[in-house]
């Protein structure tokens, strides 16, 4: 009998010990995962590729992204159009399969970290690309402007990059403000889109608020959402008018969450100070309209404003950001300051949860 008791206790102990080990192992496994893409693993379309990793909400995921030049521009003498193979623009890391994400849900992606992986950034003019250039779509009879490459050295201490004029001696330091040019999921309608394109699924938004500390909300169109990221930017002006920012490979850490049974039509972004709706289309006024209509509807649905009141208030306090006017679709964000939100105190979004995750 005694032995029985002992055995029972032993079993109990062993059971709990095993649970404990699993919990530890589990927490070790699930809380923090790393995926470093090998050559050949980058993706060149946003679409239904085989996942490279399955992740869960609140896991910290560490990964890296290659620059928009596919890592092929290795010196200021490398001409992008000569060294990048066809259809190798804007390589994407991923896709990450998010367990539990289903069509009709919203995926929240919170960026925890974004750091340049090398000691330089690169910018260039691509022929037939750019807001002040003839392009494949704004198709005029002029030859393109001359292809050029600007090489920006990074000063990690000052957190700056250095612009050097190609003609003359002018040079200046520009503060880094890293963000991901591309963040997207598999598109609706079973589409696969070139990684240069932004649309409702996110993608090449080139929107500087896709940065550490902020949360991006994307529509889930397929099971697992299939999250892609890439095209790190160290610095970018509004509109990205020459067609490229200061481009860099990046070290990234992020965490995701799922909002079940609530869909967003277009990407949304949340910072501590703003909620933002992001529209990507042509002409530029349609991108602007998409973003601003979505914001009015957001104010109505989640914050209880009547539609005309929402339209009026956004009209007076809204900030409109032109992300880029160079990609196949243009991107504009409508930003609403949280301080003017009715009932904002009650706001309980993934952003507030995810930003507390220690990393």
> What does the alpha-carbon distance between residue 281 and residue 285 come to, in Å, rounded to a whole number?
9
Judged by CB under 8 A, how many residues of this single chain contact its own copies?
88
Answer yes or no whether residue 305 interacts with its own copies by CB under 8 A: yes
Answer yes or no whether residue 345 interacts with its own copies by CB under 8 A: no
Answer yes or no whether residue 125 interacts with its own copies by CB under 8 A: yes
> What does the alpha-carbon distance between residue 67 and residue 231 come to, in Å, rounded to a whole number?
5
Answer yes or no whether residue 316 interacts with its own copies by CB under 8 A: yes
Closest CA to 187 of 122, 260, 253, 103: 103
Rounded to a whole number of angstroms, the minimum distance from the CB of residue 311 to its own copies is 5
What are residue 124's DSSP bridge partners?
149
Answer yes or no whether residue 163 interacts with its own copies by CB under 8 A: yes
Answer yes or no whether residue 248 interacts with its own copies by CB under 8 A: no
Rounded to a whole number of angstroms, the minimum distance from the CB of residue 277 to its own copies is 10
Those residues with Cβ within 8 angstroms of residue 208's Cβ, 6 or more apart along the chain or in another chain: 177, 179, 233, 236, 321, 323
Whether 284 and 332 have beta carbons less than 8 Å apart is answered as: yes
Q: Which is nearer to its own copies, 33 or 284 (CB)?
A: 284
Helix (H, G, I), strand (E, B), or coil: what is residue 103?
coil
Answer yes or no whether residue 313 interacts with its own copies by CB under 8 A: yes
Answer yes or no whether residue 160 interacts with its own copies by CB under 8 A: no
Answer yes or no whether residue 245 interacts with its own copies by CB under 8 A: yes
Rounded to a whole number of angstroms, the minimum distance from the CB of residue 172 to its own copies is 5
Of residues 1, 139, 261, 356, which one binds its own copies by CB under 8 A?
139
Answer yes or no whether residue 36 interacts with its own copies by CB under 8 A: no
Task: Name the phi and psi angles at 92, rounded to 5.
Answer: -115, 140
Rounded to a whole number of angstroms, the minimum distance from the CB of residue 16 to its own copies is 48
Of residues 110, 120, 193, 355, which one binds its own copies by CB under 8 A?
193
215-219 and 268-270 strand pairing: antiparallel
Whether 308 and 320 have beta carbons less than 8 Å apart is answered as: no
Residues between 74 and 103 that touch its own copies (CB under 8 A): 87
Q: Which is nearer to its own copies, 109 or 314 (CB)?
A: 314
Residues between 255 and 294 that touch its own copies (CB under 8 A): 265, 279, 281-286, 288-290, 292-294
| CB half-sphere exposure, 192, CA atoms < 13 A | 8
Rounded to a whole number of angstroms, the minimum distance from the CB of residue 232 to its own copies is 14
Q: Which is nearer to its own copies, 57 or 318 (CB)?
A: 318
Task: Name the phi and psi angles at 65, rounded to 5.
Answer: -125, 150
Answer yes or no whether residue 10 interacts with its own copies by CB under 8 A: no
Segment interacting with its own copies, rule: CB under 8 A, options 18-26, 76-84, 222-230, 300-308: 300-308
Rounded to a whole number of angstroms, the minimum distance from the CB of residue 225 to its own copies is 17
Of residues 158, 304, 352, 359, which one binds its own copies by CB under 8 A?
304
Whether 297 and 214 have beta carbons less than 8 Å apart is answered as: no
Answer yes or no whether residue 347 interacts with its own copies by CB under 8 A: no
Whether 73 and 83 have beta carbons less than 8 Å apart is answered as: yes
> What does the alpha-carbon distance between residue 42 and residue 88 come to, in Å, rounded to a whole number?
9
CA angle 309, 312, 318 (to 5 degrees): 120
Of residues 61, 235, 264, 275, which one binds its own copies by CB under 8 A?
235
Q: Which is nearer to its own copies, 205 or 256 (CB)?
A: 205
Answer yes or no whether residue 190 interacts with its own copies by CB under 8 A: yes
Whether 238 and 207 have beta carbons less than 8 Å apart is answered as: no
CA angle 50, 194, 33 (to 5 degrees): 40
């Amino acid at each position: 009998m005694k032995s029985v008791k002992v055995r029972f206790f032993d079993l109990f102990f062993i059971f709990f010990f095993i649970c404990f080990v699993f919990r530890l192992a589990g927490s070790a496994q699930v809380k923090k995962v790393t995926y470093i893409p090998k050559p050949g693993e980058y993706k060149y379309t946003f679409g239904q590729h085989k996942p490279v990793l399955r992740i869960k909400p609140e896991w910290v995921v560490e990964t890296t992204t290659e620059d928009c030049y596919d890592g092929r521009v290795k010196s200021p003498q490398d001409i992008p159009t000569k060294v990048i193979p066809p259809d190798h623009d804007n390589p994407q890391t991923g896709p990450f399969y998010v367990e539990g994400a289903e069509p009709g849900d919203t995926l929240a992606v919170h960026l925890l970290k974004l750091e340049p992986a090398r000691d330089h950034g690169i910018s260039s003019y691509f022929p037939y690309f750019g807001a002040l250039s003839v392009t494949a779509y704004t198709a005029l009879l002029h030859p393109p402007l001359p292809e050029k490459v600007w090489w920006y050295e990074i000063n990690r201490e000052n957190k700056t990059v250095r612009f050097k004029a190609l003609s003359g001696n002018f040079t200046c330091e520009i503060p880094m403000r890293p963000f991901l040019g591309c963040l997207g999921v598999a598109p609706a309608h079973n589409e696969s889109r070139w990684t240069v394109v932004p649309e409702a699924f996110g993608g090449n938004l080139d929107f500087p608020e896709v940065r550490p500390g902020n949360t991006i909300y994307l529509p889930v169109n397929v099971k697992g959402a299939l999250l892609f990221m890439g095209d790190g930017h160290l610095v970018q002006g509004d509109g990205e008018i020459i067609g490229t920012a200061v481009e860099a490979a990046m070290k990234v850490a992020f965490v995701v969450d799922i909002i079940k049974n609530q869909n967003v039509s277009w990407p949304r972004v949340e910072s501590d100070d703003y909620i933002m709706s992001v529209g990507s289309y042509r002409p530029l006024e349609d991108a602007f309209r998409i973003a601003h209509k979505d914001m009015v509807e957001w104010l109505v649905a989640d914050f209880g404003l009547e539609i005309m009141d929402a339209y009026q208030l956004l009209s007076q306090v809204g900030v409109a950001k032109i992300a880029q006017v160079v990609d196949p679709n243009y991107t504009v964000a409508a930003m609403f300051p949280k301080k003017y939100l009715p009932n904002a105190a009650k706001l309980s979004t993934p952003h507030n949860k995810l930003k507390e995750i220690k990393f």
